[in-house]
Amino acid sequence: MTGKSSAGDSDLPASLEAAWGLRERPAKGPRPGLSLERIVSAAVDVAAADGLAAVSMGRVAQELGASTMSLYRYVSAKDELYVLMQEAAVGPPDPLAALAAGAGWRAALLEWASAQRTRFHANLWVLRIPIGGPPATPNSLAWWEQGLQALADSGLSEGDKISVILLISSFVRSEALLMSDLSAAVTARGVPPEDVVAANERTLRRLVDPDRHPGIARLLESGVMGGPDDPDHEFRFGMERLLDGVDALIRTAGGDAGPA
């Protein structure tokens, strides 16, 4: 996509026009130092410090020392600002080392998913932005493209490839959001994580009836709930099971499952 659009000749949402650089820049006003890039950067700083709920046009304007109305010359609404904030914070994907090394689709997809997770954990507020549709901004399309490239030699149909990408992306977002919520809950209680785990286990032991909850009772007796807390365990476990499923799908489709 190249060139600039004029008012009324584009059917793209305003947020996508801004993300792709298709919108005409406003004429210089009384504050020539104000720019779309500065507005987005200030909004990202607010979200990183105080969460997405703290982001408002008024708060961002205050951070920039500008009037709220002056921001609307660059950003038409807060929803548009959200799109641009996510685009700036998550950024484009780095090249996949697994693809360059010819390590196969499984290693490439695991690296791809891990990279997404890392970006989310560095910007957990991004997970609070409502999903308004399929990927359409430059960086989101770059991530989508990279995931599809990881499956390029798998032998899967194009429809199955995108289904795999959506499945893994959904898992990454869900796991990161769950870990974010759990971390926030621990922080709110103001005690070390291991103390929270121990307190939760004691609560369950008081409430669980082995006759009504035999599965939970066996879990408690096994001692696994009080074991060392590995924040990456559930992600690795989930990804391995998902990739096992993709492996089975590829074999069923007669494709190349590649290295185990």
Supply the pLDDT for residue 3.
42
What is the reported pTM? 0.84
Per DSSP (E only), the strands in the chain are: none
**Measured between alpha carbons, how far is 250 from 26 in angstroms, rounded to an integer?**
51
Backbone angles phi, psi at 194, to 5 degrees: -65, -30
Nearest-angstrom CA–CA distance, 112 and 46: 28
pLDDT of residue 257: 61
Numbered ranges of CATH 1.10.357.10 in the chain? 97-252
The CATH code for residues 14-90 is 1.10.10.60
pLDDT of the residue at 133: 81
| DSSP code for 28 | P
| 178 closest CA partner among 121, 260, 220 | 121
Round to whole Å and give the CA distance between 175 and 157. Answer: 27
Structural contact between residues 161 and 148, judged by C-beta atoms closer than 8 angstroms: yes
Written as tens digits, the pLDDT of the chain (260 aa) is: 344 444 445 677 777 888 888 876 665 554 557 899 999 999 999 999 999 999 999 999 999 999 999 999 899 889 999 999 999 999 999 999 999 999 999 999 999 999 999 999 999 999 999 888 888 899 999 999 999 999 999 999 999 999 999 999 999 999 999 888 877 777 777 777 777 778 888 888 888 999 999 998 898 888 887 765 787 888 999 999 999 999 999 999 875 666 54
Show Cβ contacts of residue 173 under 8 Å, excluding neighbours closer than 6 positions. Answer: 120, 127
Q: Please check whether residue 17 is in contact with residue 23, taking contact to mean a CB–CB distance below 8 angstroms.
A: yes
CB 87 within 8 A of CB 137: yes
Q: List, by residue range, all CATH 1.10.10.60 domains of the chain.
A: 14-90
Superfamily of domain 97-252: Tetracycline Repressor, domain 2 (1.10.357.10)
Two structure tokens written together for 64: 């920039």
Tally the residues of the chain: 260
The H or E element containing residue 156 is none
